Chains A and B, each alone.
Chain A
Amino acid sequence: MLQFLIRRLTGAVVIMFLIGAFTFFLFYTVPQDFAALSCGKNCSPQNLAVIRENLGLDKPLPTQFWEFMSGIVAGRDFPQGHCSAPCLGISFESGEFVWDSIIDRFPLTLSLTVGGLVIFLILGLGSGLLAAWKRGTVVDKIVSGTSIVLSSFQIYLLGPIVLGLLVYSTGIMDFPKEHSFTEEPGAWFLGLLIPWVVMATIFTAQYTRMSRSTMIEQLQEEHVRTARAKGMKQSYVFFRYAWRGSLIPIVTILGMDLSALLSGAVVTEFTFDLAGIGRLAVDSSLTKDLPVTMGVMLFGAFFILLLNILVDLAYAYIDPRVRLS
């Protein structure tokens, strides 16, 4: 197990390094003078030279690469000051350290993800299990039918409808707004409730359908029948035997969804005018603020790798065949 973990972590570090290298060189294949971009329209040659030096663009390419990569691990010094690790460079637009911008936006992304996750896991898996338990009955048909309808909805459609109903026409709730979780938890909760519900609705529908179908598949497994032949209670068979097997596909999809959400829920953020990682990524690419784009990409890649490892660990926990091989 430990060896497995070490192997996966080493692999992840290597892949992170490769992604870092890849984005760095991609940066330099773009036919743009970044100093000029950063300097603006009426740029004097002196200014340009200063900016070039500040950004470190006057140094040879290998040196720049070394500084970029070592900056991530150990931090680096810019004329503006020390950029502590993990240093992802300086934004052309704002002149801030990229890492600081990301960290500034991350609480919102994390809040959105965690809140949505709690809702869609409880509702999605719950209704999926209910439909599987009552398969073939009216309950199953209602749950399955609703989930098919809901899963064809989109956040940018459902969002405005909910906003119109709860905010604009009735004023029951305020327009979504970010609050600090640590300072005002109540406002934090109310401020994000609408985005959570809207986002979770779409995911709930998917998770309902997925958990229902994998459960029904598992219930037809021979070992589930054996458990019934031993006289185990139907609920015991359902939750101990069938559910265990259903976890593998659910965890797989969950890992993919979570890593996507943590690297920025672009549509949700734009629909509710919230500033998270997704917004940062889109804004940076529109303004050709390449250091930020690169930073967000590396940040997202980190979550993809992290969740991959977590999913593998979950497999090992769920299935002894994975654990013991």
Chain B
Amino acid sequence: MSDNLTLPAQQGPTGASTEALLKVEGLTKHFPIYGGFPIKRKVGAVQAVDNVDLTVGVGESVGLVGESGCGKSTTGRLITRLLEPTGGRIEYAGQDITHAKRKQLAPVRSEIQMIFQDPYSSLNPRQTVGTIIKSPMEVNGINPPGGREKRVRELLELVGLNPEHYNRFPHEFSGGQRQRIGVARALALNPKLIVADEPVSALDVSIQAQVVNLLQKVQDELGIAFLFIAHDLAVVRHFSQRVAVMYLGKVVEVGDRDSIYNRPRHPYTHALLSAVPEVAMDDETENRERIRLAGDVPSPISPPSGCRFRTRCWKAQDKCATEEPPLLQIGGNTEGHLTACHFPEDPSTEARSEDVVMDPALKAMENDGNVSKS
């Protein structure tokens, strides 16, 4: 590991530090689309990620939420440099790694690790668990005291697996256990940042909690910073100190957990939170605002002008189509709570006097009067 990258003393378990470990500015990724005849040329681009700013502090866990096609996974892959950014800047521990070559990247690679969604396909079925966890150490030429095998056994124990299962193959483990193997592999190089891309969404509910708890333990005890990418808002809330909400390649709102979940300002954040089905364990849960959007997310090939959410927004006005709202700390927001909206909502998630129902079919049926509002 290179010396200049080793960071100063790490923060305590819960402390979100002010010191930025990862700083992303104006990150952009456009996937070109080729077509035309007879000569193929670029006819357009999927604007997967567009001008995204994001920071992750030392030891901090940041959640990245949004629906499919919002660019959250692409963002994760750009940060781990599995994809080459089209534009913007990625700074890790003060070093610009946006377009770093393989060699320059080598010391950073070991400090930024990734955990993937699918524990079935992200492990080589022909390798033993020991080999899988050991390989990052071999690739990076790291020789921990006591040998690599000892380290692997320690890691297996840390993630809650039996160290004796060193010589078993991935198919001998259940889905949750495989995800633990993925975590152990990510931890093998003592990373400082883990990008977890939907790490629990392929798992059953009862197993999900096991893995979330494991990740939380890892974060607390080892002081590893996390970029936690998921579509499940409740899981993200549970895991992350700060949360960024993405829509069609843009960050529309970012802030600490409490601001995003209890005092959201962006209409999309409101819609997203209101759509989450909650278990009604008490009457309080039922006093939530009800927002029903119309249709699906538009195509990222030709996103709407101005504010990208305006086509599904109940507050949209002419200004939204012409002027892209900047991501700012708008009036009434706490420090670090930024919202990209011209006409923000009130900071509350409680039920409104009138539900927002954009869907024409629902509207029609509910206005008929013979259907009661739920």
Contact = CB atoms under 8 A, between A and B. Distances in A.
B331 to A, nearest CB: 48
Nearest to A6: B37
A10 B39 CA distance: 12
Nearest to B38: A10
A219 B91 CA distance: 52
A141 B38 CA distance: 51
- Interface secondary structure of B, over-half rule: loop
A322 B94 CA distance: 49
A262 B37 CA distance: 31
Interface in B9-65: 37-38
Interface residues of B, number: 2
A7 B38 CA distance: 8
Contacts of A7: 37-38
Contacts of A3: 37
B29 to A, nearest CB: 24
A3 B37 CA distance: 9
A183 B252 CA distance: 80
Contacts of A10: 38
> For chain A, what secondary structure do more than half of its interface residues adopt (helix, strand, loop), or is it mixed?
helix
Interface residues of A, number: 3
Contacts of B38: 7, 10
Interface in A1-34: 3, 7, 10
A86 B38 CA distance: 27
Interface in B168-226: none
Contacts of B37: 3, 7
A263 to B, nearest CB: 28
Nearest to B37: A7
A5 B349 CA distance: 56
Nearest to A4: B37
A7 B40 CA distance: 12
A3 B38 CA distance: 11
A12 to B, nearest CB: 13
B34 to A, nearest CB: 14
A261 to B, nearest CB: 32
A10 B37 CA distance: 11
A278 B38 CA distance: 36
Interface in A285-319: none
A10 B38 CA distance: 9
A201 to B, nearest CB: 41
A9 to B, nearest CB: 12
A34 B37 CA distance: 42
A309 to B, nearest CB: 16
Nearest to A14: B38
A193 to B, nearest CB: 48
A309 B239 CA distance: 55
B190 to A, nearest CB: 45
A66 to B, nearest CB: 24
Nearest to A10: B38
A68 B38 CA distance: 27
A8 to B, nearest CB: 11
Interface in B286-322: none
Nearest to A3: B37
Give the 4 A-B CB pairs with smallest separation, nearest first: A7-B37, A10-B38, A3-B37, A7-B38
Interface of B: 37-38
4 contacts: A3-B37, A7-B37, A7-B38, A10-B38
